[in-house]
Amino acid sequence: MLIIMDNAATDEQIEIVEDKIRSMGWTPHEIPGALRIAIGITGNKGAVDAGLFSNLAGVVECIPVSKPYKLVSRDVKPEDTVIKLPNVTIGGKELVVMAGPCSVESRSQIMEVAEFVKSQGAQVLRGGAYKPRTSPYSFQGLKEEGLKYLREAGEKFGLSVVTEVKDTETVPLVSEYCDMLQIGARNMHNFSLLEAIGRTRKPVLLKRGLAATVEEWLMAAEYIASQGNYEIALCERGIRTFETYTRNTLDLNSVPLVKHLSHLPILVDPSHGTGSWELVAPMAMASVAAGADGLLVEVHPHPEKALSDGKQSLRPEKFAELIEKLRKIAASCDKSFGAL
């Protein structure tokens, strides 16, 4: 159930509605919009009787929400969610490019990459400090040392920082150093982690699971929103199919579909989506044409020496070529990508 309040509703009237919801054993979620204030209800096991609320002062309308993902549904919030990072917004008219290496390998490496991607117009620095890998013997990241390097590089070159948090134990530490918390594909179903992230109130980048349906993906976002954190951006990074020529199958259908179903912004990661640097640029351009709000692109000065995912990382010169093409496509899709 979604309760629509009058624009002129007082704080007292809103509190009366929320107290009524709590008295029923449910949880109210106040969702401010551009033109209205809505109160979502979660915790109910069946349909909510609209008559319980329709006669309360300040209530304009009670709307049933049939989708299981209530708080992130377009039904609850018709207008797009816009997430504010220190130097960029995600979900508005600006195309956001998050770029950097798969893993932070050293201070000099992340500084070099940060300076370059900033010079090309990227607004967010990405890089892994904690690396959940398929093999326990693979490089696991520099951990807190890597976080410090990321923060230093971000501050020096005026970039926001996004990095992955892999477990509940490291949420406070990672939150201290980054502007946006990334939930990796392997952790999309880690519900304890999703709830912990939801309690941080820190912007979140939620990657789609390896074999997750769109509904399962949106339900994972609902876990975060249910804890009071609505600053969620989704990231399509490909799903596992029978195809073996690419690392994953990049599902660009999800971009317009998510835009239809949810108010959350959506980005695309063509690096993990393809696993091959030759395919990154074409799929990045296709993602923007499909309506993506932004991109995650892996960039490494020496991919052949990378400690993780070198095969899908762009060399600096290839990243520069991609950016020039993205400027033209963004303009044709009513997206801005700031001039240098």
The answer to the question of residue 69 being in a domain is no
Which own/partner pairs from 229-232 qualify as long-range (CB within 8 Å, at least 24 positions apart)?
A: 229/197, 229/198, 229/199, 229/200, 229/201, 229/202, 229/204, 230/31, 230/71, 230/72, 230/81, 231/81, 231/83, 231/201, 231/202, 231/203, 231/204, 232/72, 232/81, 232/83, 232/203, 232/204, 232/206, 232/264
Q: Is the pLDDT of residue 337 over 90?
A: no
pLDDT bin (cut points 50, 70, 90) of residue 42 is confident
pLDDT of residue 192: 97
43 and 138 belong to one structural domain: no
pLDDT of residue 338: 66
Do the Cβ atoms of 256 and 275 come closer than 8 Å? no
Which CATH number covers residue 187? 3.20.20.70
Does an H or E element contain 281, and which? helix 277-290
The pLDDT tens digits for 144-158 are 999 999 999 999 999
174 and 297 belong to one structural domain: yes
The answer to the question of residue 208 being in a domain is yes
27 and 162 belong to one structural domain: no
Which one of 7-21, 270-284, 326-340 scores highest in mean pLDDT? 270-284
The answer to the question of residue 73 being in a domain is no
Q: Is the pLDDT of residue 131 over 90?
A: no
The pLDDT tens digits for 179-191 are 999 999 999 999 9
pLDDT bin (cut points 50, 70, 90) of residue 340 is very low
Q: Is the pLDDT of residue 32 over 80?
A: no
Domain boundary among 35, 63, 91: 63
The answer to the question of residue 40 being in a domain is yes
Q: In whole angstroms, how far apart are CA 107 and each of 101, 110, 149, 269, 314? A: 12, 5, 6, 24, 19
Average pLDDT over residues 155-175: 96
pLDDT of residue 8: 87
Number of structural domains (the chain) is: 2
The answer to the question of residue 337 being in a domain is no
pLDDT bin (cut points 50, 70, 90) of residue 34 is low
Report the b/e string of 184-212 with b at 16+ CB within 10 A: bbebbebeebbebbbebebbbbbbbbeeb
pLDDT of residue 137: 66
Tallying the residues shown for the chain, one arrives at: 340
Rounded to whole angstroms, the Cα distance separating 121 from 127 reads: 17
Can you tell me which residue has the tokens 């990241």? 141
144 and 244 belong to one structural domain: yes
Average pLDDT over residues 91-108: 96
The answer to the question of residue 77 being in a domain is no
41 and 99 belong to one structural domain: no
203 and 326 belong to one structural domain: yes
pLDDT of residue 339: 47
Average pLDDT over residues 19-33: 89
Does an H or E element contain 84, and which? strand 83-85
Domain that holds residue 109: 83-332
Q: Is the pLDDT of residue 165 over 70?
A: yes
Do the Cβ atoms of 318 and 277 come closer than 8 Å? yes
The pLDDT tens digits for 270-316 are 999 999 999 999 999 999 999 999 999 999 999 999 998 899 999 99
